[in-house]
Amino acid sequence: MKYYITRYTDKLPSWQAGNARLFLITLRKGKEHDIGLLEHEKCHVRQWWALFLLMSLIGWPALYFFNGDPVMMPVSIAITGLAPALHALLYLLVRPYRQWSEVQAYKTQVAKGNYRDNSFAVRALMNPKYKLNLTESEASKLLGFW
């Protein structure tokens, strides 16, 4: 079962070869055959689905059971309403979560991409746009290269 939608465009920031928003993967034109990149973005989509489904499994039954409760009903609504946005919010606001997300995605990309040189993943984790503040040795250790 396909759990994502892929599109190709040149309308990405210059530092990105692709990105994932919810279940939509956007790859730069010319990267159609980069299996590792697609797997990297699919990893982010799986991260989104995991949090979305978990929050939905908590929120929807809570809406049913706490119907009419003046305290728990709004809490249930908040949980259910946040379900689609939780991965994005955590990624944006919580550096350890962003680091975990990217490390998992780059490990997947390296494992499935059949690249000649995997040092790009270390450099990518060090990119200031990720705001991870990692040194080369820290990034290498996180990726399992050391």
Q: Where exactly are the structural domains of the chain? A: 5-143
Phi, psi (deg, nearest 5) at residue 7: -135, 160
Instruction: Please say whether the beta carbons of 23 and 5 come within 8 A.
Output: yes
pLDDT at residue 146 is higher than 90: no
β partners of residue 9: 28
| pLDDT, tens only, 21-74 | 999 999 999 999 999 999 999 999 999 999 999 999 999 999 999 999 999 999
Radius of gyration for the chain, computed over Cα atoms and rounded to the nearest angstrom: 18
Per-chain mean pLDDT for the chain = 96
103-112 average pLDDT score: 98
25: helix, strand or coil: strand
Written as one string, the DSSP assignment of 101-119 is HHHHHHHHHHHHH--S--H
pLDDT of residue 45: 99
pLDDT of residue 1: 83
pTM equals 0.92
